[in-house]
Each structure stands twice: as structure tokens, then as C-alpha cells.
Amino acid sequence: QCQLSGLWRNEQDSLMEISAVRDNGDFQGKYLTRVTLAGGCARVSSLKGAQQQPTEGGWPTFAFTVRWDKFSNATTAFAGQCFVDVAGKETLTTMWLLREAVGSLEEDWKATR
């Protein structure tokens, strides 16, 4: 079984730490990104999410959001699934959607990545 709680590192060398997942699937943690829109140094931001409890023999899906409030006016939503390979290595696969604040409805087209 894949456990979301713990420390995770991605290909960009960013770190995510998830505290214990509650019985209802809710969790929170911290995200230390090495990649910023402003190109500055790494910063820690809070995250909150939920895990769908896996069915018998399945791998859990999950989603979480990160508010980059300390250095950016943006929020990112992640959705993914946790897997364990035959050697016991846990891997999270995710897709993300980042929304940056813009000043007008006319600029909406460039706000989502």
C-alpha cells in the first residue's frame, strides 16, 4: 500500500512533506519549491489536500492545493495517484494547474498554465 505521508522529492528538486493522512483522507503539509515564477530562491508554502481511499488492491488517488502566498499571487492544484513498484519504491504521479492573478478579465487568457 502506498502511503502519502512523508517527504517527497520531484524531478525539479522541490520537496513536499505531507503530515499524517486522517481517516477521512484529509491531509496537510508543506511544499518547498525550487521553481518560482519570479525566479527567486526556494520558499516554503502550505498545502492542503484529500486522498481517495483505495479500493481493495488499488492505488490511492489524491488532490491538493498549494498557495504560493509568500512570494507569488498564484495557486496550484495538483491531482495524482500513488504507486508502489515491485521493489517497493513509492512514486507519486501528478498533473498540475497553476492560476496566477491578473488585473482584468481581458488578461484572463494568460493566467492559467
Query: Residue 37 — very low, low, confident or very high, per pLDDT cuts 50/70/90?
Result: low
Is 49's pLDDT higher than 90?
Answer: yes
- pLDDT, position 113: 87
| Average confidence (pLDDT) over 71-88 | 89
Inside any domain, residue 25: yes
Inside any domain, residue 19: yes
pLDDT tens-digit series, residues 10-31? 888 889 999 989 989 999 999 9
pLDDT tens-digit series, residues 97-110? 999 889 999 999 99
- Positions of E strands within the chain: 6-9, 15-18, 26-33, 43-52, 61-67, 74-84, 90-100
| Average confidence (pLDDT) over 28-42 | 74
User: Per the structure, how many domains does the chain have?
Assistant: 1
The CATH number of residue 81's host domain is: 2.40.128.30
Its domain, for residue 88, covers 6-110
Phi, psi of 54 (to 5 degrees): -70, 150
